[in-house]
């Protein structure tokens, strides 16, 4: 069995734990060989935390897969060497690699729920790893697994041992994944976007846990992320990657204060942070060209566009929990049979106003937006839109009413929200064909007009979604939403799936459209920094209730509710 020699702790002169030299990774594709990673050099000392930062397609994940030698079939290391504690990983046999994986080097992935076997108890999954690497005998393995779960701060580890992944929350699943990765006390942990898709407070808890455990054990960590703030907060050293190249490697305090490469500066600029305006996100030359953000003050005398009053949405509780409780009789007080997803909220949106709706997953923000969008029916309360009580109209019949045109939506995932068999032009034309009496002849010119408005070059109109980039797809989604000249657009995390530089452009586009078309926005997001830039007012929700609402500046800088303070404190900021 291979056992990597433990180098003396003497950073600087000692052999680095991981030494990647001139690594080139190639993928065989239908259109020939593509180099995903080109001649990169990375060194990682023992006990060091290294951040690899870059946008999608930069090759940061591929680098880590190459180190672990878990590239898929089409990928291969074409050039260079990977030395791990003096072992040549490129030349190691598959059996040796299997021995190293999980025992000396392990990996945690994004989307923790998908990273676990859905039909195997989490305890057994941990046992598989322990037994594979002969960490304990068969008789002690269950105790050891419980112990490992305890180390990642999972409450009631003995019970959780028997849980399936679908019975645990996202944060809890990520703890299990961490437990799995650290069960055999490896020397190197590679965390690939470990907190993407988790709430900020969960993200903080998970990252703090990783840092604490790895420090305690003197482990080295590679943190792969697109979030500069996260890298700055947790890493000693940062590697910036662009299109397969390493463009900059510096200690993290240096890189954020004095980024030397143009790409790093661009990334830094595009990252939403406090104290800047929307235009500051764009590269310098574009920011100079852009119009200043128009401030059309909301007229106090004008009636608000949307008034939501004591809105409630209840769902019947799922049978499982209630029947379990009945079985064990643990609840003396019979719990109500309904779950209040939205619990009596009231707010208003004025014409031309942009309102942010923030909160963590499960707080009811999506349910609220769906009710305002009239996709689902409320339980009680009123939704008044332009003086009409649209809440009283059943969601099913709303789709054919003239009011449908006035409220439109931009969805979270720009890819999934487009029909893959529709061209961009057809997607944009869809609402026009369904809800307006536009003639065939005018249709194309209207689509072109809309494409121009959202900055989509006209030659892309006849492409299918898979032929468009993420930013272009987002533009199609926005063009579709504004096609009917709505008064209110509900934006459900429209930039969550985009890279920061694309996000910067899309956010600015949204602002420009609002200024020129005079629409109102209800911007649903968990990213407070983005909300700060785009929204005039913000509503903070927690467990179905509004905990705080007010002008963005006031809420962000002087939050009144303790929950808002917690949310704000959990955001990692790059030290600018």
Partner 1 sequence: MAIMLKRMTLIIPNLIGVIIVTFLLTRALPGDPAAYFAGPAATKESVEQIRKSLGLDKPLIVQFGSYVSELARGNLGNSLTTGKPVLTEIKNRLPASAELTLFGLILSIVIAVPLGILAAVKQGSWIDHTCRIVATAGVSLPVFFTGLLLVYVFYYILGWSPAPLGRLDVFASPPTQITGFYLIDSLLTGNWSAFRSSLNQLLLPGLTLCIFSLAPIARMTRASMLTVLASEFIRTARASGLDSRTVIITYAFRNAMLPVVTTLGMVFSFLLGANVLVEKVFAWPGIGSYAVEALISSDFAPVQGFVLTMAILYVALNLLIDLLYGVIDPRVRLEA
Task: Give me the residues that bind partner 1 (CB under 8 A), please.
Answer: 68, 70, 73, 97-103, 106-107, 109, 111, 114-120, 128-129, 132-133, 164, 166, 177, 180-181, 320
The size of the chain, in residues, is: 576
CB nearer partner 1, residue 107 or residue 152: 107
Write out the DSSP string of 495-542: TTTS-HHHHHHHHHHHHHHHHHH--EEEEEES-HHHHHHH-SEEEEEE
CB nearer partner 1, residue 164 or residue 422: 164
CB nearer partner 1, residue 105 or residue 267: 105
The count of other CB atoms within 10 Å of the CB of residue 12 is 6
CB nearer partner 1, residue 131 or residue 375: 131
Q: Which of 507, 417, 490, 418 is nearest to 455 (CA)?
A: 507
DSSP 292: P
Quote the least distance from Cβ 33 to partner 1, whole Å: 18
CB nearer partner 1, residue 163 or residue 488: 163
Quote the least distance from Cβ 280 to partner 1, whole Å: 36
User: DSSP 3-state assignment of 426?
Assistant: helix
In 325-438, the DSSP E strands lie at 338-349, 354-358, 380-385, 388-389, 407-410
CB nearer partner 1, residue 174 or residue 264: 174
Quote the least distance from Cβ 86 to partner 1, whole Å: 19
Quote the least distance from Cβ 181 to partner 1, whole Å: 7
User: DSSP 3-state assignment of 350?
Assistant: coil
User: DSSP 3-state assignment of 43?
Assistant: strand
Residue found by looking up tokens 């790893």 in the block: 129
CB nearer partner 1, residue 42 or residue 176: 176
Tokens of 501: 């530089």
Quote the least distance from Cβ 38 to partner 1, whole Å: 24
Quote the least distance from Cβ 190 to partner 1, whole Å: 8
* Burial readout 282-305 (b: 16 or more C-beta within 10 A, e: otherwise): beeeebeeeeeeeeeeeeeeeebb
Quote the least distance from Cβ 371 to partner 1, whole Å: 26
Write out the DSSP string of 54-120: --TTSSHHHHHHHHHT---TTEEEEEEEEEETTEETTTS-HHHHHHHBTTTEEEE-SSHHHHS-TTS
CB nearer partner 1, residue 116 or residue 524: 116
Quote the least distance from Cβ 106 to partner 1, whole Å: 6
Burial class of residue 176 in the structure, from the number of CB atoms within 10 Å of its CB (0-12 exposed, 13-18 middle, 19+ buried): buried
Tokens of 478: 């926005």
CB nearer partner 1, residue 182 or residue 506: 182
User: DSSP 3-state assignment of 133?
Assistant: coil
- Please, are residues 367 and 339 in contact by the beta-carbon 8 Å criterion? no
Quote the least distance from Cβ 124 to partner 1, whole Å: 9
C-alpha torsion angle, residues 421, 57, 33, 468 (rounded to 10) = 20
Q: From the centroid of its chain, how far is CA 264? A: 21
CB nearer partner 1, residue 133 or residue 273: 133
Quote the least distance from Cβ 73 to partner 1, whole Å: 8
């Amino acid at each position: 069995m291979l056992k990597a020699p433990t180098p003396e702790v003497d950073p600087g002169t000692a052999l680095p734990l991981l030494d990647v030299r001139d690594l080139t990774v190639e993928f065989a594709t239908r259109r020939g060989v593509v180099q995903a990673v080109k001649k990169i050099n990375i060194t990682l000392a023992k006990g060091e935390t290294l951040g690899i930062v870059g946008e999608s397609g930069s090759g940061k994940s591929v680098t880590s897969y190459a180190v672990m030698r878990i590239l898929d079939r089409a990928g291969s290391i074409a050039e260079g060497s990977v030395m791990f504690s003096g072992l040549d990983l490129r030349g190691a046999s598959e059996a040796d690699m299997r021995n190293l994986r999980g025992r000396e080097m392990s990996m945690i992935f994004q989307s923790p729920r998908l990273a676990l076997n859905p039909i195997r108890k989490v305890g057994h999954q941990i046992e598989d790893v322990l037994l594979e690497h002969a960490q304990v005998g068969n008789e002690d393995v269950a105790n050891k697994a419980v112990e490992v779960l305890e180390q990642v701060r999972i409450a009631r580890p003995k019970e959780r041992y028997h849980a399936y992944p679908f019975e645990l929350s996202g944060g809890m699943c990520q703890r299990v994944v961490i437990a799995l990765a650290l069960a055999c006390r490896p020397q190197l942990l590679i965390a690939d976007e470990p907190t993407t898709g988790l709430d900020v407070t969960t993200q903080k808890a998970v990252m703090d846990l990783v840092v604490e455990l790895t420090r305690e054990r003197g482990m080295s960590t590679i943190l792969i992320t697109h979030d500069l703030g996260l890298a700055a907060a947790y890493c000693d050293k940062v590697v910036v990657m662009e299109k397969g190249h390493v463009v900059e490697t510096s200690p993290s305090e240096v890189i954020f204060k004095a980024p030397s490469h143009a790409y790093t500066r661009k990334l830094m600029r595009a990252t939403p942070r406090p104290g800047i305006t929307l235009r500051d996100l764009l590269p310098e030359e574009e920011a100079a060209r852009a119009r200043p953000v128009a401030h059309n003050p909301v007229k106090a005398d004008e009636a608000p566009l949307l008034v939501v009053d004591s809105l409630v949405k209840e769902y019947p509780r799922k049978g499982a929990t209630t029947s379990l409780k009945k079985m064990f009789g643990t609840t003396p007080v019979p719990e109500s049979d309904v779950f209040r997803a939205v619990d009596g909220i009231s707010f208003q949106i004025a014409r031309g106003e942009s309102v942010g709706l923030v909160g963590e997953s499960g707080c009811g923000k999506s349910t609220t937006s769906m009710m305002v969008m009239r996709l689902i029916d409320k339980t009680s309360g009123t939704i008044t839109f332009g003086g009409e009580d649209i809440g009283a109209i059943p969601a099913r019949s709303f789709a054919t009413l003239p009011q449908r045109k006035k409220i439109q939506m931009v969805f979270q995932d720009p890819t999934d929200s487009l029909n893959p068999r529709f061209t961009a032009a057809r997607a944009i034309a869809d609402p026009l064909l369904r809800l307006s009496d536009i003639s065939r002849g005018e249709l194309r010119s209207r689509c072109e007009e809309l494409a121009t408005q959202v900055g989509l070059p006209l030659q892309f109109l006849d492409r299918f979604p898979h032929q468009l980039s993420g930013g272009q797809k987002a533009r199609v989604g926005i063009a579709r939403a504004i096609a009917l000249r709505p008064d209110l657009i509900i934006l459900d995390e429209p930039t969550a799936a985009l890279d920061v530089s694309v996000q910067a452009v899309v956010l600015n586009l949204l602002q420009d459209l609002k200024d020129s078309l005079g629409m109102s926005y209800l911007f649903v997001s968990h990213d407070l920094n983005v909300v700060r830039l785009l929204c005039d007012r913000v509503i903070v929700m927690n467990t179905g209730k509004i905990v705080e609402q007010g002008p963005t500046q006031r809420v962000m800088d002087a939050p009144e509710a303790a929950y808002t303070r917690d949310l704000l404190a959990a955001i990692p900021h790059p030290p600018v």
